[in-house]
């Protein structure tokens, strides 16, 4: 298999990546055939998947604007993925010229493209780190210097926690990040769920497991646990019930399986 010029050395072109599959679902071009094949199989199981991903992106943009309107202009986007149209820094800077954004991902393709995209954007940077090691994330963010953790921050954990298995204790990971945030900070989160479409959810979980990526859908109650230590603002809802997504869901929010939520640290 020929390696595209944009693909960093050392990555396995024969193994699907969740970040590159997400890029494929959104219509991006930075994915390989192995990612597209896995993505096509996922869409066969859940034809609404591209619309769900688009609704997820709409949620991010809206939550960033809301955070900026509330006076929170620093953003940590963990599991940021491969850059797409309407990135967090673009939305944040449009909402507030004082905004600062640090993208964090462990996928080398995502990091490489973020670095290229941000080369001439002094208000944003990218850090290579893994959600499974929050201390490392916090240390690298502090060393980066763009975001001041002593001031309120919007912590974005969007479509990433469902890739963390229970054995890794995702609630403790989020708690460690929460404890490092200043009062007034916000948690912006989205998560896949089996609640509304259990048969398809089970098959999607199996598909991701087969391509070597852990994938754990969680119930509403389990998703709400991630907001312990945060006050609902407005709390957890179906992704199809959030803002403009409610219209796109054709009066059936359950089609857009998964939950989104925003909370504020008192």
Contact 62, 243 (CB under 8 A): yes
In angstroms, rounded to a whole number, what is the distance separating the alpha carbons of residues 171 and 192?
16
Return the pLDDT at 34. Answer: 86
- Please classify residue 117 by burial: count the beta carbons closer than 10 Å to its beta carbon, then call 0-12 exposed, 13-18 middle and 19+ buried: middle
Regarding predicted confidence, which is higher, 22 or 12? 22
3-state secondary structure of 230: coil
Return the pLDDT at 259. Answer: 95
pTM of the entire predicted model: 0.88
| Tally of CB atoms within 10 A around 138 | 18
Token pair of 246, please?
Answer: 């409610």
In angstroms, rounded to a whole number, what is the distance separating the alpha carbons of residues 60 and 88?
8
Token pair of 182, please?
Answer: 């200043």
Domains of the chain in sequence order: 18-250+257-264 (3.40.50.150)
Residue 28 pLDDT class (50, 70, 90 cuts): confident
What string of DSSP letters covers 148-196? -TTS--EEEEES-GGGS-GGG-HHHHHHHHHHTSPTT-EEEEEE--SSS
Regarding predicted confidence, which is higher, 144 or 51? 144
Token pair of 37, please?
Answer: 């094949």
């Amino acid at each position: 298999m020929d390696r595209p010029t944009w693909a960093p050395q050392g990555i396995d072109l024969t193994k699907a990546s969740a970040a590159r599959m997400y890029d494929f679902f959104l219509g991006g071009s930075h994915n390989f055939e192995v990612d597209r094949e896995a993505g096509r199989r996922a869409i066969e199981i859940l034809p609404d998947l591209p619309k769900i991903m688009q609704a997820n992106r709409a949620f991010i943009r809206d939550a960033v604007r809301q955070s900026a309107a509330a006076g929170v202009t620093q953003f940590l986007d963990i599991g940021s993925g491969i850059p797409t149209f309407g990135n967090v820094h673009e939305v944040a800077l449009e909402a507030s010229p004082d905004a600062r954004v640090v993208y964090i991902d462990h996928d080398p393709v995502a990091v490489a493209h973020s670095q290229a995209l941000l080369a001439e954007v002094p208000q944003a940077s990218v850090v290579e780190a893994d959600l499974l090691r929050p201390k490392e994330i916090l240390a690298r963010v502090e060393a980066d210097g763009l975001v001041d953790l002593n001031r309120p921050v919007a912590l974005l954990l969007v479509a990433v926690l469902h890739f963390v298995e229970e054995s890794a204790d995702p609630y403790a990971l989020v708690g460690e990040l929460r404890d490092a945030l200043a009062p007034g900070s916000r948690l912006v989160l989205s998560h896949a769920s089996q609640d509304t479409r259990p048969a398809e959810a089970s098959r999607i979980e199996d598909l991701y497991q087969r391509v070597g990526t852990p994938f754990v859908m969680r119930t509403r109650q389990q998703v709400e646990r991630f907001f312990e230590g945060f006050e609902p603002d407005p709390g957890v809802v179906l992704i199809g019930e959030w803002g403009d997504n409610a219209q796109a869901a054709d009066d059936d929010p359950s089609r857009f399986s998964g939950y989104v939520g925003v909370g504020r640290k008192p």
